[in-house]
Amino acid sequence: MKSWKVSFLTALLSCSLLVFFEKPCHSDTLYGGVQHSEAVAPVPSGLMPGNAVVNQKLTPNNNWIQIPDWMAGTWQFKQETVTSLTSLLGQKFPKPPFKIHNEFTKKFGYQKDKNGGIWDYLKVPFSYTTTVDDGLKAYFVDNELEVLETTSNSTIRRLFGMDSIYNPVDQVITITQQKECLNKLTPMGDNLIRIDSSTKIFDMNGKPEVLKQSNVIGSLLKPYEQVDEEGGQNLKEMFVEYLQSHGKADLVPM
């Protein structure tokens, strides 16, 4: 594997798919004053290199956020444009700008309230596995997802999680890194959406390694569709429980 791939790989795969262990100090001011962390806590010992990967049984929190109508639906993304790539440890990376094949779909909006407002389910903590380059596997854990700002024409989200690369033959972890993703979503008209991302990668000890700026443009694959059940979760009941427990019982759908 090329030397830059391991440090760069997980940053490309999961941050556009929109946690802190503590509230750290910040630097790198971005969208609307939002900043990246200077350092984060080390990863849990079980995710350190040399350990066998274990798929954690995580129970997502019941958190919801109302979203703008333009954001609702299922979006198809195919290509990411990297506009800036900064090594914080002296690694050598390809010189931007350059494009990367990064194909995925993302759904925003799962339930409607009594007034027709569309709400998105913030499913964290959450883990999943995918295949990456050179026959390796990546185990992702998204620990926290928070919405920092929403206006009529943009929304900013922060995601923090851990990514472990492992050999599927022996299941042994070769590297674990942490990512902090700041994603700004904006409508582009004609059923298009743009995600501008700033991703900061930290090593297993919480020290910063890479800072990447990029963007992806998605096209609307499907308009909003209500989802009442998914992955064994009764989202309809969970949404009602959320509204009732957050002083919004008047928004419970009929």
> Of 190 and 9, which is predicted with more confidence?
190
In this structure, what token pair is assigned to residue 155? 């929304």
Average pLDDT over residues 132-149: 88
Identify whether the C-beta of residue 192 lies closer than 8 Å to the C-beta of residue 215.
Answer: no
pLDDT for res 15: 58
Which pLDDT tens digit goes with each residue over 162-197?
999 999 999 999 999 999 999 999 999 889 999 999
pLDDT for res 11: 46
pLDDT for res 64: 98
Which pLDDT tens digit goes with each residue over 65-119?
999 999 999 999 998 899 999 988 877 778 899 998 778 889 999 999 999 999 9
Beta-bridged to residue 131, according to DSSP, are 137
Round the average pLDDT of the chain to a whole number and report it.
Answer: 86
pLDDT for res 101: 79
The position carrying tokens 């883990």 is: 127
SS3 75: strand
pLDDT > 70 fraction of the chain, expressed in percent and rounded: 87
- For the beta sheet containing 64-67, the strands, ordered from the edge strand earlier in sequence to the opposite edge, are 64-67, 118-121, 111-112
Q: How confident is the model at residue 30 (pLDDT cuts 50, 70, 90)?
A: low
pLDDT at 14 over 50: no
Domain residue ranges of the chain, discontinuous segments joined by +:
3-249
CA atoms within 13 A on the CB side of 133: 14
Distance, CA of 192 to CA of 180 (rounded, Å): 25
Cα distance from N-terminal residue to C-terminal residue, the chain: 55
Nearest to 87 by CA among 203, 216, 176: 203
pLDDT for res 125: 94
pLDDT > 90 fraction of the chain, expressed in percent and rounded: 67
Amino acid in the structure at residue 184: K
SS3 212: strand
Report the 10 Å Cβ neighbour count for 14.
22
- Range in 130-134, 139-143, 232-236 with the lowest mean pLDDT: 130-134
> Of 236 and 99, which is predicted with more confidence?
236
Q: Which residues, 6 or more positions from 210, have their beta carbon under 8 angstroms from its beta carbon? A: 7, 8, 11, 85, 86, 87, 88, 89, 91, 93, 199, 200, 201
